[in-house]
């Protein structure tokens, strides 16, 4: 049963529709009920009726649509309103009938899709005419302090006489002299303006009538491409992307005129304070081409409508709108099948934990939350990083494959190439979460995407990345390969998307680990690799290192520096990296470091003992063995440098 009254209307006061109208056939389905073609029993005229299902919580939207239609339907580009009726039915539930002008030419979306299905596309002059008439309708609303808030192709209907009508005012908002902005996130996701989406997350965010301009810009793309941008994504995922992505464009902008592209660009300015209003857009050169040609364009539009109807009904894709005040009316996947947690209606800590646990039990270690990828360390090798998987995620839609870190790499790469903008991927997590391995996999996929035409360059990027981690990673109590530093890896690509180099920066390195480790922990991996390598090659004596006694700060009861290290794959990888990168000079440098720390341990821990160890005249004999300049070494070790930051006072 409907509530008997809204805030200002009483449903019982409306007449019974069966006295005047007779249902002929079903036209389609709206947001809250079906739409039928009806016949007027008195004068034989035909109309459309939206019969609202008996839902309890939509009285505000019914009232909004009723008030706007009653007040503003006297415009050529707004659907005519013939009245509201109330049908009492104890058995099936009461019904509200909104009787409207019959727009039997379908929607502009139907027209665009029908033409594309025939291998054709809508002429720009027809698109300009549709947009001009839509702007006229929006101007009428905005002048009367009303925001439509759900402008899209399916809400712009056509009559068989070439009329263009705005419909569906259920979520429209009326402004007042004291309230010129709104702060409710409402609309259909793919067409929603960034500032409208922001109202869901930022309580102080507002927007004005220019949100309709953004939606019209998306509709313009829809008329050209047949679908709005991001339509291949789940609607809730699109809500994550719209505020973060650059303004969308036509799929192939080069196929369209500069004027059409510029019109879309003006509509889709992300800062709504800088976005033009409807009156400004009516003066745009793309729209003004219709002036004086209205009759000709209307005739051409009628011919297209007739042709479209002769071919048959185009399968419609329904995009449900959302309203943050009432919650989403969209259907989501079953909880067990969700790859993206953002699609869940309820997203709290318990839900996330349950979802991740269930997926982990099925060896699904990756899960999306909008643009974020959650990776749960499986602690065992998985066959999901093969060359076949590498190819599977290149240029693929997120929805085409299960969540994967390769998809993150592909998204960043494709965005970089498409928008010619730098991209950034942040990897964060607890110790042992798999950050290091995730970084390896990202670099691996990006080098494949970057089509490095120099195999040596590709190997350098991959191996040197591992080499840097050998310098900064160590075994801790809870993680055998814990990163003891922060790493910033910058990969360079040319204009064609080919990788041309990489640069790695480190920060917050735990330098004290070189001379002191907590109980049960080890030094940085690189020292074990170097010492074991020199021992294996019988070169310890050459670098003044003992071959009979393991250095104290490298000793560990559970590891044998010789065979355990030399037979380790990581050991071989590091020495390959040294050779490929051409930085064999690090061998004597690291050896000297081991020697210095051994001396330091023997002499004590005071700073003066270190100074004594590396006096140039006493260390001169080691100069040839290390291939280092001792005077320079002395300066580096014994002199401190301080970095200060200057602050500018206002």
CB 77 within 8 A of CB 87: no
For CA atoms 244, 247, 253, 254, the dihedral sign is negative
List, in sequence order, every residue forming a beta bridge with 47; answer none if it has no partner. 38
430 is in an annotated binding site: yes
Beta strands of 73-121 (E only): which ranges? Answer: 81-87, 95-100
User: What is the separation of C-alpha 79 from the centre of its chain, rounded to a whole number of angstroms?
Assistant: 36
What residues does 164 pair with on adjacent strands?
Answer: 158
Please indicate if the annotation marks 432 as binding a ligand.
Answer: yes
**Does the annotation place 435 within a ligand binding site?**
yes
Is the Cβ–Cβ distance between 162 and 193 less than 8 Å? no
- Angstrom CA distances, 161 to 111, 297, 520, 584, stand at 14, 12, 84, 81
Distances (CA, A) of 335 to 46, 363, 534: 45, 17, 56
Q: Is 46 annotated as a binding residue?
A: no
User: Which of the residues 150, 339, 340, 410 is marked catalytic?
Assistant: 150
Phi-psi region of 434 (alpha: psi -120 to 50; beta: other; left: phi over 0): left
Q: Does the annotation flag 312 for ligand binding?
A: no
337 annotated ligand binder: no
Q: Which helix (H) or strand (E) holds 55?
A: none
- For 348-379, letters b (16+ CB in 10 Å) and e give eeeeeeebbeebeeeebbbbbbbeebbbbeee
Name beta bridge partners: 644: none
Tell me the CA distances in angstroms from 238 to 232, 372, 411, one per residue in order: 9, 13, 14
Q: Are 150 and 171 in contact (CB under 8 A)?
A: yes
Tokens of 131: 């947009």
CA distance 148 to 174: 9
Q: In 3-state terms, what secondary structure has residue 431?
A: coil
Has 436 been labeled as part of a binding site?
Answer: yes
In the annotation, is 150 catalytic? yes
The alpha carbon of residue 371 and the mean position of all alpha carbons in its chain are separated, in whole angstroms, by: 4
Q: Which of 78, 206, 82, 68 is nearest to 138 (CA)?
A: 78
> What is the phi-psi region of residue 52: left when phi exceeds 0, alpha when psi lies from -120 to 50, beta otherwise?
beta
Quick one: how far is CA 125 from the chain centroid? 34
Q: How many CB atoms lie within 10 A of CB 466?
A: 19
187 is in an annotated binding site: no
Read out DSSP for 435-446?
HHHHHHHHHHHH
Is 228 in contact with 221 (CB distance < 8 Å)?
yes
Q: Do 34 and 26 meet the contact criterion of CB atoms below 8 Å apart?
A: yes
CB-based contact 49:38 (threshold 8 Å) = yes
C-beta separation of 152 from 215 below 8 A: yes
- Rounded Cα distance, 621 and 66, in Å: 96
- Give the Å distances, CA to CA, from 548 to 279, 428, 590, 595: 87, 42, 19, 14
Q: Was 429 annotated as part of a binding site?
A: yes
Residues making up the annotated binding site for ATP are: 50, 429-436
Residues making up the annotated binding site are: 50, 429-436
> Any idea which residues carry the catalytic annotation?
150
């Amino acid at each position: 049963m409907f509530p008997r009254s809204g805030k200002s209307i009483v449903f019982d006061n409306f007449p019974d529709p069966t006295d005047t109208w007779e249902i002929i056939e079903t036209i389609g389905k709206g947001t809250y009920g079906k739409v039928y073609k009806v016949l007027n029993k008195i004068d034989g005229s035909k109309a459309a009726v939206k019969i609202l299902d008996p839902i309890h919580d939509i009285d505000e939207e019914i009232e909004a649509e009723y008030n706007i239609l009653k007040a503003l339907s006297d415009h050529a580009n707004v659907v005519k309103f013939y009245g509201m009726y109330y049908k009492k039915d104890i058995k099936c539930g009461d019904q509200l009938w909104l009787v409207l002008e019959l727009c039997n030419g379908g929607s502009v979306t139907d027209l665009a899709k029908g033409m594309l299905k025939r291998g054709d596309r809508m002429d720009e002059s027809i698109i300009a005419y549709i947009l001009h008439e839509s702007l006229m309708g929006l101007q009428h609303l905005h002048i009367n302090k009303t925001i439509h808030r759900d402008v899209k192709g399916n809400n712009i209907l056509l009559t068989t006489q070439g009329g263009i009508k705005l419909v569906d005012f259920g979520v429209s908002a009326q402004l007042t002299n004291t309230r010129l902005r709104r702060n409710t996130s409402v609309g259909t996701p793919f067409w929603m303006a960034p500032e409208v989406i922001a109202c869901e997350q930022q309580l102080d965010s507002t927007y004005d009538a220019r949100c309709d301009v953004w939606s019209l810009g998306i509709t313009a793309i829809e008329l050209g491409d047949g679908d709005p941008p991001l339509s291949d994504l789940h609607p809730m995922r699109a809500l994550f992307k719209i505020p973060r992505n650059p303004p969308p464009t036509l799929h192939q902008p080069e196929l369209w005129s500069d004027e059409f592209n510029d019109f879309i660009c003006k509509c889709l300015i992300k800062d709504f304070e800088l976005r033009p209003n409807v009156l400004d857009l009516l003066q745009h050169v793309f729209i003004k081409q219709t002036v004086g040609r209205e009759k000709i364009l209307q005739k051409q539009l009628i011919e297209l409508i007739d042709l479209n109807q002769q071919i048959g009904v185009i399968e419609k894709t329904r995009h449900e709108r959302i309203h943050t005040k009432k919650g989403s009316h969209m259907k989501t996947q079953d909880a067990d099948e969700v790859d993206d947690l953002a699609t869940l209606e309820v997203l709290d800590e318990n839900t996330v934990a349950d979802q991740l646990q269930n997926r982990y039990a099925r060896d699904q270690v990756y899960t999306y939350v909008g643009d974020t990828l959650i990776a749960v360390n499986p602690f065992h090798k998985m066959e999901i990083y093969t060359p076949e998987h590498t190819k599977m995620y290149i240029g693929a839609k997120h929805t085409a494959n299960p969540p994967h870190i390769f998809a993150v790499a592909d998204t960043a790469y494709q965005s970089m190439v498409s928008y010619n903008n730098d991209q950034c991927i942040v990897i964060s997590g607890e110790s042992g979460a798999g950050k290091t391995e995730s970084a390896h996999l990202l670099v691996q996929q990006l080098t494949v995407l970057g089509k490095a035409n120099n195999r040596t360059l590709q190997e350098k990027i991959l191996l040197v990345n591992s080499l840097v981690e050998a310098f900064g990673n160590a075994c801790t109590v809870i993680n055998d390969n814990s990163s003891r530093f922060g790493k910033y890896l910058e990969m360079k690509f040319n204009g064609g998307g080919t990788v041309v180099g990489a640069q790695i920066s480190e920060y917050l390195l735990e330098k004290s680990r070189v001379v002191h480790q907590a109980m049960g922990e080890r030094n940085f991996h690189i020292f074990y690799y170097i010492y074991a390598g020199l021992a294996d090659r019988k070169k310890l004596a050459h670098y003044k290192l003992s071959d009979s006694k393991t250095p104290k700060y490298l000793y560990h009861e559970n590891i044998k520096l010789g065979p355990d290290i030399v037979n380790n794959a990581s050991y071989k990888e590091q020495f390959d990296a040294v050779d490929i990168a051409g930085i064999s000079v690090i061998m004597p440098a690291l050896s000297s470091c081991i020697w210095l720390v051994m001396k330091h341990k023997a002499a004590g821990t005071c700073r003066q003992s270190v100074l004594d160890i590396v006096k140039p005249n006493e260390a001169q004999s080691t100069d040839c063995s290390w291939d280092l300049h001792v005077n320079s070494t002395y300066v580096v070790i014994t002199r401190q440098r301080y970095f200060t930051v200057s602050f500018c006072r206002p």
